[in-house]
Amino acid sequence: MNLSGVLFFPVTPFGADGTLAEEVLAEHIRQGMEHGPGGVFVACGTGEFSALSEAEHARAVRVAAEVVAGRVPVFAGAGGPIGTALNQARAAREAGTDGLLLMPPYLAQGPAHGFAAYVAAVAAELPVIVYQRGAVVLEPEAVVELAGLPGVIGLKDGLGDIDRMQRTVLAVREVYPDFLFFNGLPTAELTMPAYRGIGVELYSSAVFAFAPEIALAYLKGDERLLTEFYAPLVRLRGKVPGYPVSLVKAGVRLRGLDVGTVRPPLVEVTGEHLEELEALIKTGLGLAAS
């Protein structure tokens, strides 16, 4: 599957009454598509995957598939209890998406072969990128086993253990050279120099959701953005748990699209932090335009 460039992870908009705002989601994705992302990942972490009902998830995925209309691959989030993950996978397949980003199952943990069975069941519905984060910490040999399962096409790393990832990349590519690896850390641009050093070029860009101009300028090699935009953004992100999502949604609102607020347990960005974010966006846009 051809995934390249900046990968777009849209937020999930909610209306004033708290319900899914499908038309706003469609507009959000339309605006993002104007900047040429290499793929769209809907109802994933930035899209508040864990806060969506199965019905909301299915509607959000269908909206994304309809707006993108085959121009780039569309992936949907899936995960949690096996029954829920399968329902989400089937809804995504029926909507016409290209694959799934498989989140870790909640609470229940088993041995490596148990997790492999979980992944295999979901991958029978659609191609799967496994998300390594939280309780899912995989040894290189376990990833080799997963890479050999039908339908498993990639691994997204949300741990940031470069030593583990280097050993994993080497072990997997020796057997499966076309297997995909992604940097899935929040504000991934800041750590991309390290990931590129171990052969991982793909990454998810939360910034693309609210400032695609900045994300594309970084992709073209503007290293000034690392010190003047991304590093300060990471410092701001670390001030409150949940800000990796809340800041993105606030950024979309600051750029003129009312996508509503985040759902609990996430919290809204404070007024002081919102001012910091607005100033950072202004700085980043200035650099991108220069």
Cβ contacts of residue 76 below 8 Å, gap of 6+? 41, 42, 43, 44, 57, 61, 64, 88, 91, 92, 95, 97, 99, 100, 101
Catalytic residue among 131, 195, 203, 243: 131
Cβ contacts of residue 175 below 8 Å, gap of 6+? 144, 147, 148
Nearest in space to 246 (alpha carbons), one of 12, 7, 25, 6: 12
Annotated binding-site residue? 227: no
Cα–Cα dist 61/88, whole Å: 9
Catalytic residue among 118, 156, 203, 230: 156
Cα–Cα dist 120/93, whole Å: 16
Residue owning tokens 């199952």: 105
Kindly report the CA angle at 54 between 61 and 71, in degrees rounded to 5? Answer: 10
3-class DSSP state of 29: helix
Using CB atoms within 10 Å of the CB of residue 17, give its burial: 0 to 12 exposed, 13 to 18 middle, 19+ buried.
Answer: exposed
Is the distance from CB of 149 to CB of 127 less than 8 angstroms? Answer: no
Is the distance from CB of 183 to CB of 195 less than 8 angstroms? Answer: yes
Q: Can 131 be counted among the known catalytic residues?
A: yes
User: What is the 3-state composition of the chain as percent helix, strand, coil, each rounded to the nearest 5?
Assistant: 50, 10, 40
- Residues annotated in the binding site for pyruvate, as ranges? 46
- Residues annotated in the binding site, as ranges? 46
Cite the active site residues. 131, 156
